[in-house]
Amino acid sequence: MTGTVELDQDGRHLLIRFPYREDLVAMVKELPGRRWDPKQKVWRVPAEHVEAVYHACARHLFEMAAEIPSLLAGTIKLPEDNAAPAASQQPRQGTLLPTGEVTNRSPADDVAAAPAALSISELNERVKGCIGAAFPENLWVVGEVIDFDKSANRAHRFFQLAEKMPRAQRAKAVVQVAMFERTATKLLPALAQGDPPLTLRDGLEIRALVRADFYPASGRFQLIVNDIDPSFTLGKLALTKEQILRELTEKGLADSNRLLGVPVPSMRIGVLTSPDADGWTDFRRHLEESDCGFEVTLFQTKVQGPDLKPTMLSGLQWFAERAEQFDVLCIVRGGGSRTDLAWFDDREVAIAVARSPLKVLVGIGHQRDQSVLDVIAQSEKTPTAVAESLVRGIEAAREEVLAQSARLAGLVTKGLANESERLREFSRAIARASHERVDDAKRMLGATAAGLRSQTALRISRERGEVRHVATRLAHTSQRRCERAATALQQAETRRRLLDPARVLQRGFTIVRDAAGKIAPSSSRISKDQSLQLQFRDGSAEVRVDRVETDQP
């Protein structure tokens, strides 16, 4: 809430309160007759300027006291500046004639002169005269529109205005209203083309300039609409929106869904909309033309009217129960006037969206007409813009994968080059170390060789005698061993000749080998269709096994 506007106890002044803001101070200073009251710390404006105060403060979403609409409508009269006239100066109560004039004749005179009874037409004419005298000029009234949609296809629009008490279901008072064709053809398009646009519908609270009328033929009292103040209705809608957002902020839900991240990639898309909406057609066509392979699930809802709330709540609950099956949830519809989009400014729908476990993308209007859902979720201008954001997410993920692949390839190439250089340097270091160690070893070997030569000469002289002694013994031992070895060799040769395969083949046997040339010693190692080589005494043959029979042990 920006500030408040109240009626002072004297009934003559409007009291404007708000926290200090330069733009609001500048706004108040443009009001006629404004005066700063330092004691009460409020701005005072004469009550006769209520219309100027209302229009100025409504644009900034000030909260209006209940008396302000009544002042605008003229149902509360401002007190007179002078005291009431003395009793001697007050005119005698007279009779109100159908013409609106007052006669001072006595009741007895009226009874003598009046006819015995009035006809219905005469009665209604008198009532019409009374109403005309009581309301000679147009006046502003405030009420909620009822049954306006029922006359959508008629030239003359007949509906009702109701006064409803807070949190009450039934209306406190209802009046019949007529908007004739001449007014409707001018007023309704002008409201729809305003900035922002306004579409009259049931459920809106409006401030209308009307003429009180009584139709004698049917005894019907009605108000004839001549004009409608769009700023009043739009201000009410904005106030409702502000109240919902304030409650969400107090509950810590205002940013809950909007700050959820969008899964990458988002391929499983849930949608809440009407299948007949143009926005759904545009949304689906754009996803299909992208060739990204989206999986789209539609839950049918209403996107306008009193059925929007129950169907939207059902859809939000359905997707919440199946959140693991989807990546994001989209709420889309075609553009419309501010009052069309106001159906989305519902407290329960806003809370359900804020608590949704799925990231919600909203495309239900244009950027200048924002609903509560546009504030608490990720908002796009149109359904097509929502689809484009999803497609961009897929394309960005694809480009990121390609970029990461390129970076990885570059890092691998660079790493290989670095490792190759390290390997070359390591090889050079090993070569240098090897040369140094070889030189050291040569020097050590040279010194060792000199020492060994001197020691070897001494040992050779000592060992020479021992060797001669041992040689003598070895000669005798060797001779005996050679004789035994010659005998064993002769015996082995005899066995070899007896076991020579060639001699075995000469006796009519055959040698079986596998494809690798190894002898097959048993039928258990032979399988069907195996290639075998058969060696005979006079040649060889290659065969293939048709059947294997193995003798059981």
Q: Which of 59, 47, 64, 15 is CA-nearest to residue 229?
A: 59
The single residue listed with the structure tokens 């803001």 is 21
Collapsing DSSP states into helix, strand and coil, what is residue 179? strand
Q: Which of 97, 87, 339 is CA-nearest to residue 203?
A: 339
Give me 386's structure tokens: 């929502």
The single residue listed with the structure tokens 């042990």 is 553
Give me 467's structure tokens: 């060797």
Going by CATH, does the domain composed of 4-73 fall within 2.40.160? no
Of these ranges, 127-131, 276-280, 365-369, the one predicted with the greatest mean pLDDT is 127-131
> Max Cα separation, the chain?
188
Q: Which of 357, 350, 340 is CA-nearest to residue 374?
A: 350
Query: How many alpha carbons lie under 13 Å from residue 503 in its C-beta half-sphere?
Result: 7
- The CA distance from 192 to 336, in Å, is 9
Listed in order, strand segments (DSSP E) in 130-219 are 139-146, 157-164, 171-179, 205-215
DSSP alpha helix (H) spans, 174-332: 181-192, 230-250, 278-290, 308-321
pLDDT in the model for residue 56: 86
Output the CATH code of domain 252-393. 3.40.50.2300
Residue 113 has pLDDT above 80, yes or no: no
Q: What is the DSSP letter of 115?
A: -
Tell me the CATH class for 120-239.
mainly beta
- The CA distance from 503 to 509, in Å, is 9
Q: Which of 123, 116, 119, 118 is CA-nearest to residue 98?
A: 123
Percent of the chain with pLDDT strictly greater than 90: 20
Average pLDDT value over all residues in the chain? 82
Positions of CATH 3.40.1170 in the chain: 4-73
Give me 117's structure tokens: 């009874």
- For residue 378, what are the β-bridge partners? 361
Q: What is the DSSP letter of 48?
A: G
C-alpha 540: how far from chain center = 84
Provide Rg for the chain, Cα atoms: 55
Q: Which residues contact 251 (CB under 8 A, 6 or more apart)?
A: 351
Q: Which residues contact 45 (CB under 8 A, 6 or more apart)?
A: 13, 14, 16, 28, 31, 32, 33, 34, 35, 52, 53
Q: Which of 233, 254, 246, 243 is CA-nearest to residue 338?
A: 233
3-class SS string, 304-359: CCCCHHHHHHHHHHHHHHCHHHCCEEEEECCCCCHHHHHHHCCHHHHHHHHCCCCE
Q: What is the pLDDT of residues 22-74, one digit of tens each?
A: 888 989 999 999 999 988 889 999 999 988 898 888 778 788 887 887 787 67
Evaluate whether 319 touches 299 at the Cβ level (below 8 Å).
yes
Q: What is the pLDDT of residues 258-295, one digit of tens each?
A: 888 888 888 899 999 988 888 898 898 999 888 888 99
- The CA distance from 247 to 348, in Å, is 11
Angle at 311 between CA 306 and CA 317, to 5 degrees: 140
The single residue listed with the structure tokens 């040339």 is 517
Residue 301 has pLDDT above 60, yes or no: yes
C-alpha 105: how far from chain center = 78
The length of the chain, given as a count of residues: 553
Q: Which residues contact 51 (CB under 8 A, 6 or more apart)?
A: 72
Positions of CATH 3.40.50.2300 in the chain: 252-393
* pLDDT tier at 238, thresholds 50, 70, 90: low
Residue 319 has pLDDT above 90, yes or no: yes
Positions of CATH 2.40.50.140 in the chain: 120-239
Angle at 61 between CA 56 and CA 65, to 5 degrees: 85
Please state the rounded mean pLDDT for residues 506-529.
84
Q: Which of 155-159, 185-189, 230-234, 439-443 has the lowest mean pLDDT?
A: 230-234
Residue 398 has pLDDT above 50, yes or no: yes
Q: Which of 60, 232, 215 is CA-nearest to residue 140?
A: 232
pLDDT in the model for residue 94: 40
Angle at which helices 230-250 and 50-58 cross, to 10°: 50
Q: What is the pLDDT of residues 324-354, one digit of tens each?
A: 999 999 999 876 656 667 778 788 888 999 9
CB atoms within 10 A of CB 521: 8
pLDDT in the model for residue 426: 85
Q: Which of 388-397, 402-411, 416-425 has the lowest mean pLDDT?
A: 402-411
CB atoms within 10 A of CB 166: 5
What is the model's pTM? 0.43
Amino acid identity for residue 3 in this structure: G
- For residue 174, what are the β-bridge partners? 162
* Helix/strand/coil percent split, the chain, to 5: 50, 20, 30
Collapsing DSSP states into helix, strand and coil, what is residue 258? coil
